Structure 1
Amino acid sequence: MRSKIFLALALIFAAAAAVSTYFYLQALEKTYRETGRFVTAVVAGADIPSRTRITPAMLKYQDIPARYLHPDAATSAREVVGKISLTDIKAGEPILKSKLVAAKDARYGLAFSLGAGERAVTVAVTEISSVGGMVRPGDRVDVVATLDVAPADPNQPKTTYTTTILSDIRVLATGQMLTPEEKKDKKDTGFQHVTLAVTPAEAQVLILAAERGSIRLVLRSPVDKEKVKLPPAKTEDLVAQVPKPVKSATVQQTSQPR
């Protein structure tokens, strides 16, 4: 009997403590609100995996006492929407700006340099085919390929074609350099490969040209966005431009009377 009394008292005290705590927290919240010490923070509405582009549907808003809010916490959607998470973010967790990266920010690796629908393809280059090694990350280039094509008639010689296969392509990296600023901190030892940002369809064309022929990069002006549309040049076109030899006129001598 006595144990039941003690149990009942314990339950009563526990309930009283819970009620007191509730009212205390309510009063504390009211005090913070009245004194303007609450800040609306952006929190994850659900678990957000690493390397995920943040959308408005992923977000919720929560009022948090200013004294407990992390100084790097986002307080508006525009600070986070469109950016990519660097780590996993748990549901209800305030989103820290340091855990996000802007799209196409090469500082966090090559993958973060790519936009939606882009692929990174690396091709081998020489000093000549890379414009004297002066191509830099961020430059725009055309890719010109030269290939030998066999004729339908096996008795005829192959024809060499040179054509612009890709136009206005962004350079992601030269060698291991992802940004032009890296050159300032590294000794320029040249590079043997260049990484380009292309679409999946362009990737197929580029890889085929690199495997079956030779390619050169043609550097573009940063303000020139016009796509190049030219017919392929072939060996016959080059030969046709070579001037034909002119036959020397024959001078007929006549004998003079003595």
Structure 2
Amino acid sequence: MKQRMILVISLVCGILAFVLTINYIQTKQKEFDELKKKLLAGTRQIWVVAAAEDIPNGMKITERDIGRIQVSERDVPDRVVLAEDAKMLLGKKTVLPLAKNKPIMWTDIEGGTHSYAAGLSAMVQSGMRAISLPISGASAVSGMIEPGDRVDILGTFTLPSRKNPAEMETVTLTLLQDVSVLAVGQTTSRQISGRQKQMASGYNSVTVEVTPRESELLVFAQQAKGSLTLSLRNPSDVSFEKDLPETNFYELEKKLPELNQFRQKNIRGKRE
């Protein structure tokens, strides 16, 4: 009888210890999850390319070989392949074995990194050209223009007056509309991240994507000692303004009341 009682007590103590251990582990796991959540609260999450399965060295990458995972930006190096660049990996060979569910780096791929390998030229669409403009500061919206933005390019020139060719006048006109920004300084849209935005803000040139004929126009504008300015567009705005007039002192004085009236009626009216 005594032995049976001892056995029952031992069994109860064992069950109690097991329950307490499980409860302790669950409590600690909950504390860990809450701590992790707090640590990640202020961290930007990004989607990156990861191996869908183990990929041996020297294998050509196909769509079935890759997937995407979400990670904290600060937990991965700058050379990680972003999800938006996944198609650029297709057909390329690995130079290292890739583990399943691990982020893929540009250095894992034949040819090196994206900026480290393909460079700016890989970002230029077929039939287009990249050209750099000496623009910084207030001319680039106080340096807040970033790679991937859409802009209009305005030029200000000192030209012979049409009314009196013997006199010179200052004229501002829109040269190009809805132009894609490829890079600011030496930072491209595929390189920029939260850690690099502060560094990118100190640029003194902006590289844009234009057609061959547009590139000639921009080069001529620079050689004509014109001053170029960028105006930032909403990325979803695909509107095109036809017959934009050039602006000089005469047009400024003449059109100013009309422009202010338009602003009051149309722009402010939409906000009210």
Cα pair distance change 1:76/1:174, threshold 3 Å: closer
Instruction: Give 1:191 shift.
Output: 1.0
2:86 maps to 1:72: no
Instruction: Give 1:121 shift.
Output: 0.6
Instruction: Give 1:157 shift.
Output: 1.9
State the AA in 2 paired with 1:184: R
Match of 2:223 in 1: 211
Output the CA distance in 2 between the equivalents of 1:146 and 1:242: 18
Residue identity over aligned pairs, in percent, reads: 30
- Cα RMSD (Å): 3.8
2:146 maps to 1:136: yes
State the AA in 1 paired with 2:151: V
Output the CA distance in 1 between the equivalents of 2:63 and 2:92: 19
* Equivalent residue for 1:231, pick from 245, 254, 258: 245
Output the CA distance in 1 between the equivalents of 2:180 and 2:129: 11
* TM-score (ref. length: structure 2): 0.50
1:66-117 Cα deviation digits (max 9, x unpaired): xxx867335689x999989779xxxxxxxxx94489xxx6663111110101
Q: How does 1:95-244 map to 2 (within 5 A)?
A: 98-99=109-110, 108-151=118-161, 156-179=166-189, 181-182=192-193, 184-185=195-196, 187-188=198-199, 190-212=202-224, 213-229=226-242, 230-240=244-254
Cα pair distance change 1:144/1:86, threshold 3 Å: farther
Hey, which of these two has a bigger chunk of helix by percent? 2
Instruction: Give 1:151 shift.
Output: 3.5
Greater shift after overlay, 146-155 or 222-231? 146-155
Q: How does 1:11-50 map to 2 (within 5 A)?
A: none
Cα pair distance change 1:146/1:218, threshold 3 Å: same
Instruction: Give 1:123 shift.
Output: 0.9
Contact 2:132 2:205 in 1 (8 A): yes
Q: SS where residue 178 of structure 2 aligns? A: strand
Instruction: State the structure with more CA Rg.
Output: 1
State the AA in 2 paired with 1:193: S
Output the CA distance in 2 between the equivalents of 1:81 and 1:137: 20
In structure 2, stretches of 5+ residues that fail to align are: 1-55, 67-85, 94-107, 258-272
Greater shift after overlay, 108-117 or 148-157? 148-157
Output the CA distance in 2 between the equivalents of 1:152 and 1:232: 12
Instruction: Give 1:160 shift.
Output: 2.1
Instruction: Give 1:184 shift.
Output: 1.2
Contact 1:114 1:120 in 2 (8 A): yes
Instruction: Give 1:118 shift.
Output: 1.2
Output the CA distance in 2 between the equivalents of 1:148 and 1:129: 18
State the AA in 2 paired with 1:139: D
Output the CA distance in 2 between the equivalents of 1:196 and 1:141: 9
Instruction: Give 1:201 shift.
Output: 0.4
State the AA in 1 paired with 2:143: G
Q: SS where residue 140 of structure 2 aligns? A: coil
Contact 1:85 1:99 in 2 (8 A): no
- Report the count of equivalent residues: 165
